[in-house]
Amino acid sequence: MSQSQDSHSVGLLILPHASLSHYGQIAELLLHTNRVFEHPKYRLQAMSVGGNCVLGKVINYLDSERVDTLFVIGDLIASNETDTMLERWLVQQTKMGVNMLAIGTGILPLANAGLLNGKRSCCHWSVIEKLRHTFPKVLWTHQLFEQEMQLMTCAGGASTTDLMLAWLSQQQDLDMAAHLSEWFLVERMRPKDTQQRIPLKARIGTSQPKLIEAVTLMETNIEEPLSPDDLAYHVGLSRRHLERLFKKHLDNVPSRFYLQLRLDQARQMLRDTDRSIVEVGMACGFSSASHFSTTYRTHFNLTPRQERGRATHVELAPSWNHSVVIQRRLD
């Protein structure tokens, strides 16, 4: 089939038990981009294993056309079922230069095929420890998405949109990604280094109610931090006993863990709000702007002002030089 020089063919490989939500997020963003350009910039080809998926009957991946980019779409969590034929095909596609984006458990056939070995890859927080054991050669992270050369991975869920906006900003420019973000009412484009929020109970289980209570107190007292003695008093433990719990189950001391929570909250506020840096520092329990700036720089290796500038660059797009063209096309 002939294709224009400007078109980009995209394969949507829908794995068994894949999330329809993941497919929908990807397809909607690409189809809307086509509407903005007023021509099929992205040619979509849905495919599946065996010809059947959540969409019904679609073409078997073995019978599909060659594509420029392949999305391997899975669920948030699923069992790791091997498929040697699929894994061989994915290796072949990679050798032919096909770019791959794995969504949710779409990472599993790539991991089974060895395509993630030595690469930073991410997955949903609920399965990361299991995958670290199963695939020790993969550099698993808790980030929303990762990129390594021609390969991108994301944890699934809402992070599918984050990955898509990042990919489209590389394909087109920040103007287009920012327009898509506004059109689909996405509050902001989260950068890839945003960490997944992992529930504490998922990390340590339910057998440590005092520890969970202490962390909950920290989270609800960010602006006016409790002292270590007050924290221990409120949970009914000695300070030394509480320190032992933190060290054993979180490999940290209460004061350092508390500071991490406050700094994470500050980073989120710098990225998500227009509150001044002084206001953010005070809201996160820092008594002076200089103390806040010094502590932030020591922890994140950049100042609060640099963080705010970076967030503005990612979210607002630098020039909007063809935003008028976009609006006219939509009109």
pLDDT tens-place string over residues 20-31: 999 999 999 999
Q: Name the band, by pLDDT with cuts 50, 70 and 90, for residue 158.
A: confident
The reported pLDDT for the residue numbered 124 is 86
Name which residue leads in pLDDT, 284 or 330. Answer: 284
| 111's tokens | 């991991």
3-state SS of the chain: helix, strand, coil percent to 5?
50, 15, 35
pLDDT of residue 17: 84
Q: What is the pLDDT of residue 152?
A: 96
Q: What is the dihedral of CA 49, 53, 55, 56, to 10 degrees?
A: 100
Least confident of 165-169, 186-190, 248-252, 266-270: 186-190
Can you tell me the mean pLDDT for 176-200?
75
Beta carbons within 8 Å of 325's beta carbon, 6+ residues apart:
none
Alpha-carbon distance of 128 to 203, in angstroms, equals 11
pLDDT above 80 for 193: no
Q: Write down the pLDDT at residue 1.
A: 34
d(CA 145, CA 234): 38
Does the pLDDT of residue 330 top 50, yes or no? no
Query: What's the first-to-final CA gap in the chain, in angstroms?
Result: 32
pLDDT, averaged across the chain: 85
From residue 203, how far is each of 155, 197, 326 by CA, in Å? 17, 11, 45
Confidence of residue 302 (pLDDT cuts 50, 70, 90): very high
pLDDT one-digit tens code per residue, 261-299: 999 889 888 987 888 999 999 999 999 999 999 999 999
What is the structure's pLDDT at 57?
85
Rounded Cα distance between 301 and 54, Å, is 45
Distance CA 126, CA 148 (A): 23
Phi, psi of 38 (to 5 degrees): 60, 25
Side-chain half-sphere exposure of 249, counting CA atoms within 13 A:
22
Mean pLDDT score, 310-317? 49
Lowest mean pLDDT among 179-193, 284-298, 315-329: 315-329
pLDDT at residue 331 greater than cutoff 60: no
Helices (H) and strands (E) in the chain, counts: 15, 11
41, 54 contact by CB (below 8 A): no
Q: Tell me, what's the pLDDT at 128?
A: 80
